[in-house]
Every structure is written in structure tokens, then in C-alpha cells.
């Protein structure tokens, strides 16, 4: 498989398409066009929330390389679950949640993701600080 990242494409309606110096006949059944989604992430990730420290809201961002069942949870400094931030199925891509912690007290919290996909499970946790 090859991918062309350039600008020199010309079409000749009777013969085919020239891409740089490579000719693709238009009457060939091998010539196909496949559209792929732009900007799909290359790896599962859980990013650091921003801003951090925060008051009272912050953005939590994460990426999925394929459709997954996602659990995004919030824990206090003692490891007790405080909130379910998101639970459900999501498509591949970069996702973000605007988390408002106005009902919580100042302190250190941890947020974690568990994404279950076709080849396994991605798990990651990060620390955030709420300063009121």
C-alpha cells in the first residue's frame, strides 16, 4: 500500500490520471478511491486535564484509535469513587469532557479511563487539583 501526499494530479478524460509521473488508467477496475477519516489518533491516550489546578471547571481529553466502550471515572485522594464522568460507547477519535467540580471540595483527585476495544483494554489514570 502507498499513500501520495502531494499536489500534482491531472486527469485526461480519455486515458486516465497522471499522479506525478505515474499513470493510472481510468478504465482499470483496480483504480479505486477510498476515503479515510482525517486525524484519527495513532494510540489510545488520556491527556492531562487543562487547566490544572482548576476552579471550578476543567477539560479532560482522551483519544481512541477504534470504537470502544469507555468508562471515565473520578476518584478522591483516598481512592473512593466520586463520580462517573462518562460511561458508554464512543467512536474512534479525540474526545473531551468539560468537568465542572463546583459541588466538590478543594483537593487532589484522580481521573481514570478504561476503554475496552476489539484487541483488549486501555487503562490510564491522572491526577488533578481542585483549588477553590
Question: Does 119 fall in a domain?
Answer: yes
> Which domain, by its residues, includes 79?
45-130
Number of domains in the chain: 1
Distance from chain centroid for Cα 33: 25
Question: Does 12 fall in a domain?
Answer: no
Any idea what the CATH number is for the domain that residue 103 is in? 2.60.40.2550
Question: Does 36 fall in a domain?
Answer: no
Question: Does 14 fall in a domain?
Answer: no
The model's pTM is 0.71
pLDDT in tens, 8-37: 444 444 556 555 566 555 554 444 444 455
Question: Does 79 fall in a domain?
Answer: yes
Question: Does 101 fall in a domain?
Answer: yes
Q: Are 13 and 25 in contact (CB under 8 A)?
A: no
All residues at 6 or more sequence positions from 44 whose CB lies less than 8 Å from its CB, including other chains = 62, 63, 64, 65, 115, 117, 122, 124
Question: Does 54 fall in a domain?
Answer: yes
pLDDT in tens, 23-80: 555 554 444 444 455 678 889 999 999 999 999 999 999 999 999 999 999 999 999 9
Question: Does 77 fall in a domain?
Answer: yes
What whole-number distance in Å separates Cα of residue 29 and Cα of residue 44?
Answer: 36
Amino acid at each position: 500500500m502507498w499513500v501520495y501526499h502531494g499536489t500534482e494530479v491531472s486527469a485526461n478524460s480519455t486515458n486516465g490520471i497522471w499522479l506525478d509521473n505515474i499513470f493510472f488508467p481510468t478504465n482499470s477496475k483496480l483504480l479505486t478511491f477510498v476515503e479515510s477519516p482525517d486525524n484519527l489518533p495513532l494510540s489510545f491516550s488520556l491527556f492531562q486535564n487543562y487547566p490544572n489546578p482548576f476552579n471550578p471547571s476543567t477539560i479532560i481529553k482522551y483519544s481512541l484509535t477504534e470504537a470502544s466502550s469507555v468508562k471515565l471515572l473520578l476518584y478522591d485522594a483516598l481512592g473512593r469513587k466520586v463520580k462517573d464522568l462518562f460511561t458508554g460507547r464512543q467512536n474512534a477519535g479525540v474526545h473531551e469532557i468539560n468537568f465542572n467540580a463546583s459541588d466538590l471540595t478543594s483537593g487532589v483527585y484522580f481521573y481514570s479511563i478504561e476503554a475496552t476495544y476489539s484487541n483488549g483494554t486501555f487503562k490510564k489514570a491522572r491526577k488533578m487539583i481542585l483549588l477553590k
